[in-house]
Chain A
Amino acid sequence: MNRMANRAEEFNGTKAAAGALAEFARDPHVADFEKLLSDLSASFIRVSAEEVDAEIDRWLQLIVLAMNIDRSTVVQFEHSERTFYVTHQWAREGLAAPERGRRVDDTSSYPWLAAQVLSGEVVVIPRVEDMPAEASKDRDSFRRDGNKSNVTIPLRIAGVVVGAVLFGTLTSEKAWTQKEVQRLKLVAEIFGNALERKRVDAKVRRLSEELQQVSQVVTMGELTASLAHELNQPLAAIRNNSQAALELLTAKSPDLMEVALALEDIVRDNTRAADTVRSVRALFQRGETKMSAVDVKEILLDVNRIVRPDAKMKNISMSINAPDSLPLARGNKTHLTQAVLNLVLNAFDSVCETHGPREVGLLAARMEPGNVKVSIRDSGKGIDSKVMPHLFEPFFTTKPTGMGMGLAIVRSIVENHGGRLWATQNIDRGATIEFEVPVEADTPRTS
C-alpha cells in the first residue's frame, strides 16, 4: 500500500494521466493497464506537435509507476554519428537516470543490444546476469547503469527504426510477461507516431519558412527598379553637391556659406540613403524569427519608403494614417514588414486594373482588447464574391502571371503572430484587407 502512496506522490502529470493513475491505484489490475493505454493513445491524438516531448516525458513516468518498475528511457539514433542519444527519460526518485542529451555510444557500451534493436528485434532481459555470452559488453554496461532487468523496444518513425524505448528495473529482477511486452510495444508505437508528427510539423514549418524566403526574393526582384531609384536620387544629389562645393572653393573669395549649405544637404541625403538601406534590410533579414516589441507605424513608413517610386511611376497616391499613441505590437518586424508590403503591392495591382482614381491607404489603429489593426484600403477593382472565400489560399490567383503566394504568405505570417486576417469589399469602390496582431504586453494602456 505504501508503494501506491509513493506512486501518487511521485506523480505530477496531467489531470487525465492523474485520473488514470488514481484509477490504477484503486485497482491495480490488468484491465486498468488497458485503460491507461487507451488514455495514452487519446492523449497523444490531442497534443500539438510542440507538446509531444513533454507528453512523452509525462507518460514515461506514468508507465513506470503503473507497471511498478523503476526507469524508462527513449533513445534516438543519430545516423551520421552512429550514436544513440537519450531524448526522454524518467526514473523513480533516488535512482540513477541517464541525463537527457547524453550520448550512449552504441559500439562501446551496448553493441549487441544496438544491433538487435536496429534490426527491429524486441529484446526482453528478465535477468541481466543471464544475458548471452556475446552480449558481455552490454551486460557490463547494464550492471554499471544499475539495471537488474530490461525490455528494449525499437522505436519506429514512418516504418524506420530511429531509436528505442527502454523499460528497466533497478531494485529487483522482473519476469516480463508476454502481455506486458505487447503493451509496451504499443506504447513505443504511439510514441513513434507522435514523434513522426513532430518531425512532419517541423518539416512543414521549415518549408513554409523557405517559401517565405523565396517569395522575399521574388518581391526583391519586383522592387529592384524602385529601390535603385530611391538610392540614385540621394546619390546624385550628394555627387552634385560635392562637386559644386569643390567648384565653389576654387573661387578667389569662396562663398563659404553656400559650401556649408551644400555640405548640410550632403549629410541629409546620406541619412536618406541609409534609411532606405535600413528599410530594405528590415525586409530581407534571413532566418530572423524572434518576436519583440514592434512599432507598426514604423513598418508602414518603411514600406511606404520602399514602394514610393513604384507608386509614383504608376500614378498611385498613397496615404498613411497611424496615431502617435499606437501601442507597440508583439511580433517579428521582418515578417510583418513583408506582410504589409505584400498587401500594398497587391493593392497596387488592383488599382492599376481600373480606370478610376488610384488610391491606396495604410491605416493602423488600436483595437480592444489588446490588438493593433493594420488596414490596407484600395480604390481598385474590388474582390469578386466568388474569389473572396479562396483569397488567402496558397496557389490561388486571379493574375495571369501570379504565383498565388502573396496573400497565403501574409496569412501564415499573421497566424504565426496569433492574429487574424480578413478582407472586405468597400462600400464605394475597391477593397480593404485588414489584420490584427496582439499588442506587446508591457505597453502601458491608454484609456
Chain B
Amino acid sequence: MKEARRSGRPSRMAKSKVRVKKVAGSPRPGTVLVVDDDPSVLRAMGRLISASGFTVKMFAKPSELMASEIPKSNACMVVDIDLPEMTGIEMCEVMKTSGRGLPAILITGRTDNRTRLQAAQADAVAVLFKPFDRVPLLDAIGRALALSTRD
C-alpha cells in the first residue's frame, strides 16, 4: 500500500453539482466515482481518495452519476447502498445492463442482516461497513481499477 501514499494536492472543492478533483503533479492513473447522499460522508471520501492520488468525481444520487460521462476504462465506483431513487446495488445493475458498468465497491452505514445479505449477493469488488479505514478502501480501489484496466 506504500504507493498509495504518494502526495496529492487537491484543489478546493468546486461548487458544481458534479465535483471533480484533479491531482496535480504526477497523477495516479485511475478515476473513482463516489456516490453517497450524505454530503459530509461524500466530502470526506472525496478528500481521502483524492489525497491518496486518484481523480475523484462525487455524486449525491444515482441519477446524477448516470447522467455524467462514465469513463470506459481505468475507473471504478464507490457506491453507498442506501441511496435515494434506488439502492446502490440497483444502480450498479442498471449501469451494467446498459453496458456502462464499472467495478464497484459497496459501502453502507447499516449493519442489519438484510443489508449484509443483499451486499454479499451483489456483484461487488468489496463491501465496506462504515466507519471503514483508509487501508481496506484503497486496497479495494486498487483491485477494482486493476479489474477495470483488464477489461
Taking CB atoms, residues of chain A closer than 8 Å to B41 are: 233, 236-237, 240
Determine which of A229, A247, A261 lies in contact with B8 in the assembled complex, contact meaning CB atoms within 8 Å: A247
Contacts A235-B131, A236-B41, A239-B131 given; does A247 touch B48 at CB 8 Å: yes
Is B12 located at the chain interface by the 8 A CB criterion?
A: yes
**Alpha-carbon gap, A229 to B81, bound state (A):** 12
Taking CB atoms, residues of chain A closer than 8 Å to B22 are: none
Q: B12 near A248 (CB under 8 angstroms)?
A: no
Taking CB atoms, residues of chain B closer than 8 Å to A243 are: 48, 133-134
Contacts A244-B48, A258-B47 given; does A235 touch B8 at CB 8 Å: no
Q: A239 near B133 (CB under 8 angstroms)?
A: yes
A422 to chain B, nearest CB (A): 35
Q: A229 near B44 (CB under 8 angstroms)?
A: no
Taking CB atoms, residues of chain A closer than 8 Å to B47 are: 240-241, 244-245, 248, 258, 261-262
**Alpha-carbon gap, A341 to B118, bound state (A):** 29
- Chain B contact residues: helix, strand, loop or mixed: loop
**Alpha-carbon gap, A234 to B131, bound state (A):** 8
Q: A247 near B40 (CB under 8 angstroms)?
A: no
Q: B9 near A255 (CB under 8 angstroms)?
A: yes
Interface residues of A in 361-386 (CB under 8 A from B): none
B105 to chain A, nearest CB (A): 13
**Alpha-carbon gap, A313 to B84, bound state (A):** 9
B4 to chain A, nearest CB (A): 9
A346 to chain B, nearest CB (A): 21
- Chain A contact residues: helix, strand, loop or mixed: helix
Q: A233 near B8 (CB under 8 angstroms)?
A: no
Is B82 located at the chain interface by the 8 A CB criterion?
A: yes
Is B51 located at the chain interface by the 8 A CB criterion?
A: yes
Tally B residues with Cβ within 8 Å of A: 30
**Alpha-carbon gap, A258 to B112, bound state (A):** 35
Taking CB atoms, residues of chain B closer than 8 Å to A196 are: none
B47 to chain A, nearest CB (A): 4
Taking CB atoms, residues of chain B closer than 8 Å to A251 are: 7-9
Interface residues of B in 80-114 (CB under 8 A from A): 82, 107, 109-112
Q: A237 near B40 (CB under 8 angstroms)?
A: yes
**Alpha-carbon gap, A232 to B40, bound state (A):** 12
Contacts A244-B51, A247-B48, A265-B43 given; does A232 touch B130 at CB 8 Å: yes
**Alpha-carbon gap, A248 to B52, bound state (A):** 8
Interface residues of A in 224-271 (CB under 8 A from B): 225, 228-229, 232-241, 243-245, 247-248, 250-253, 255, 257-258, 261-262, 265, 268-269
Contacts A241-B44, A244-B47, A244-B51 given; does A236 touch B109 at CB 8 Å: yes
* Shortest 9 CB-CB contacts between residues of A and residues of B: A236-B130, A240-B44, A244-B47, A247-B51, A244-B48, A236-B131, A232-B109, A251-B7, A235-B131
Which A residues have a C-beta under 8 Å from some C-beta of B?
225, 228-229, 232-241, 243-245, 247-248, 250-253, 255, 257-258, 261-262, 265, 268-269, 272, 309, 312-313
